Structure 1
Amino acid sequence: MTRQVSVWGGGFWLSGKTREAALDAACELDELGYARLWTSGGFGEGVPSVYGEVLAATTRLGVASGILSIWHADPADTARTVRGFEQDHPGRFLLGLGTSHAPVVDAKAEHTYTKPYSRMVEYLDALDAAELPAQRRALAALGPRMLALSAERSVGAHPYFVPAEHTAQAREILGDGPLLAPEVAVVLERDEDTARAIAHEYMRGYLSLPNYSNNLRRLGYSDDDLAGAGSDRLMDALIPWGDLDTVVAGIEEHYRAGADEVTIQVLTAEPFTFPSAAYRELATALL
């Protein structure tokens, strides 16, 4: 599979207040040559409208949900929406699915977070029944069972919040062929105190979610590494930071570990402002 460089983004893309700026940013990413835009949408209801809007605003850029929660999006409705994307923009949308997290699912009081693996299998069965091809979906897989399922029932895996050592293990489980597209957060900031402040604030929320913390424990990180906003050791493993060369070197570790596509998330102190200059700078080195 040809190496691809993509972009991962969250709230900036989903908020209606920043939608016009988001569509302008998507057009620039398209022109710069990024392969795909992965945007979150896992904690809302159904398929966010932003996916179709980005597809309509661009000419080449792929779009992927990263991720859509199987607890909060009806599979028949999801399949119908994705088939519409495929009809209007052939080959450009990839449905990224995930099991979300117990604190998020249980807080909505509509479902109880039990047997997430079985729930994913049932969801994929429903997509099959709705005739949505496996090649139009990927799984946000972390553990060995979900990674194996992603190879069997989808185009591949989109792990989030993982160091390069996880990418290497994921490739071994997936084998040759299935897509492996890890998200990699980066901080283009030379000042160490500033970089660490930005990165640790980002880490804090994810370390409170058991799917991520347990995955990092499987990799050998300790409770001390995972406490609060995380240790500097964990930050250095997860988040390339520093000047352009250093950040690019950290991204390249994932390609060497077996990634086909790295989905880059540039972290800043202003999450609802798109860091266009940083993505332009990264494009000069990676595209």
Structure 2
Amino acid sequence: MTGTVGIAFTPFEDRFEVIERAAMLAEERGLESVGVAEAMTLDAPIVLARLAERTERIGLVTGVLSVWGRTPATLALTAAELQRASGGRFVLGLGASTAPITEGFHGRHWQTPLRKLRDSVVAVRTLLAGERLPAPKDGVRPLRMGSPPTVPVPIALAAVTAPSIRLAGALADQWLPFLLPPAGLDAGRELMAEAASSSGRTDAATVTASVPIALAPDRDRAARIAVRWLVTYATRMGPVYPKMLREHGYQRELDALLDANPDPRDAHLPVAAERLAHDVLLFGTYDEAPELTRAWLKYADDVAFVAPFGLPGEQISETISRL
């Protein structure tokens, strides 16, 4: 096992004290990174700034920030300051988000998201390099950052569709797939390699798989965590994830999951959906955690295991210890 293992949190986790305790434990136990995503709860950069003060070694990642929520200049300023505050441990994770969050929370039309993501990445990288903002409005004098970071800020892209994965291959330092099966990671590498070749890149973006955790002392409790992950991302996060899973061959499993759970408050994992849970989650008992972790690292360069949301902090800490 040559890759690294980190921990990450979804926007559903809104308890800073839980994230803080987990980050400090992860550093103590030798994990390599902690990622914090952002949607409608916590401000991820502020959370990471607070974690930078409380940790010394572990990497800090925005996993991810929406390119609709901040201008490229604001993203660049934020990334530069977090890189300074963390002593060079920061990775800027960006994504195109979804229509419900972009339109319902930020009040912006979710139009041409791939172009928006591409333009934002190019502008942020240009500004972080100390150069002037590319392609400003006609007649406007482009400006540059007053204090760009001395340590370069790696840029990671969250992507699950073929066009956005190609964009990661062309422009990003890391690809952050979420809820993709191993076969999807292999296919994504091929897409990124094609894009890198077309764009003239000589290096390659690394793959950091974001894998939701569904671990517990026994299989029944693990299944309860697993079904909460799957039902949430199949019903509450817009059409992106269910469409992606169907395209990867999980039509039958997804239909069985939704048919068995008309009320998400009383969800259970049907037998017909277990293949999906095994393929896209870290699903099993605590005793199986090391073997399951090694299996994911056969397909990804690094893995960020995503902590279950809504569980007691002590249970999340126990899960990190098992990893």
TM-score w.r.t. the length of structure 1 is 0.86
Identify which of 235, 251, 271 aligns with 2:277: 235
Identify which of 190, 199, 223 aligns with 1:196: 223
Q: Which amino acid aligns with 1:186?
A: I
Quick one: distance in 2 between partners of 1:211 and 1:51?
27
The count of corresponding residues between Structure 1 and Structure 2 is 278
Pick closer, same or farther for the CA change 1:11–1:251 going to 2, 3 Å: same
CA contact (8 A) 1:187 1:247 kept: no
Which one has a bigger Cα radius of gyration? 2
**Matched residue, 1:186:** 213
**Matched residue, 2:289:** 247
Quick one: distance in 2 between partners of 1:35 and 1:247?
17
Quick one: distance in 1 between partners of 2:309 and 2:128?
41
**Matched residue, 1:265:** 306
Q: Which moved more, 1:163-172 or 1:220-229?
A: 220-229
TM-score w.r.t. the length of structure 2 is 0.77
- Give structure 1 stretches of 5+ with no counterpart: 283-287
Q: Which amino acid aligns with 2:294?
A: E
**Matched residue, 1:157:** 175
Quick one: distance in 2 between partners of 1:43 and 1:132?
30
CA contact (8 A) 2:83 2:153 kept: no
Query: C-alpha offsets along residues 104-138 of structure 1, whole Å, 9 cap, x if unaligned?
Result: 22222611112110110111132134235985210
Residues 276-287 of structure 1: matches in 2 within 5 Å?
276-282=317-323
Q: Which amino acid aligns with 1:219?
A: H
SS at match of 2:128: coil
Q: Which amino acid aligns with 2:78?
A: T
SS at match of 1:181: strand
**Matched residue, 1:6:** 6
CA contact (8 A) 1:41 1:66 kept: yes
Question: Is 2:232 the counterpart of 1:205?
Answer: yes
Q: Which amino acid aligns with 2:164?
A: M
Pick closer, same or farther for the CA change 1:189–1:89 going to 2, 3 Å: closer
Query: C-alpha offsets along residues 13-52 of structure 1, whole Å, 9 cap, x if unaligned?
Result: 6x3xx43453233222111111100111144697530011
Question: Is 2:46 the counterpart of 1:49?
Answer: yes
Identify which of 125, 128, 133 aligns with 1:131: 128
Question: Is 2:262 the counterpart of 1:217?
Answer: no
**Matched residue, 1:145:** 163
Q: Which amino acid aligns with 1:10?
A: T
| 1:173 Cα deviation from its structure 2 partner | 2.4
| 1:97 Cα deviation from its structure 2 partner | 0.4
Identify which of 69, 78, 81 aligns with 1:81: 78
Pick closer, same or farther for the CA change 1:244–1:197 going to 2, 3 Å: closer
Quick one: distance in 2 between partners of 1:105 and 1:11?
14
Pick closer, same or farther for the CA change 1:207–1:62 going to 2, 3 Å: same
Residues 94-133 of structure 1: matches in 2 within 5 Å?
94-108=91-105, 110-132=107-129
Quick one: distance in 1 between partners of 2:296 and 2:316?
22
SS at match of 1:142: coil
- CA-based RMSD of the aligned residues comes to 2.7
Quick one: distance in 1 between partners of 2:103 and 2:309?
30
| 1:241 Cα deviation from its structure 2 partner | 2.4
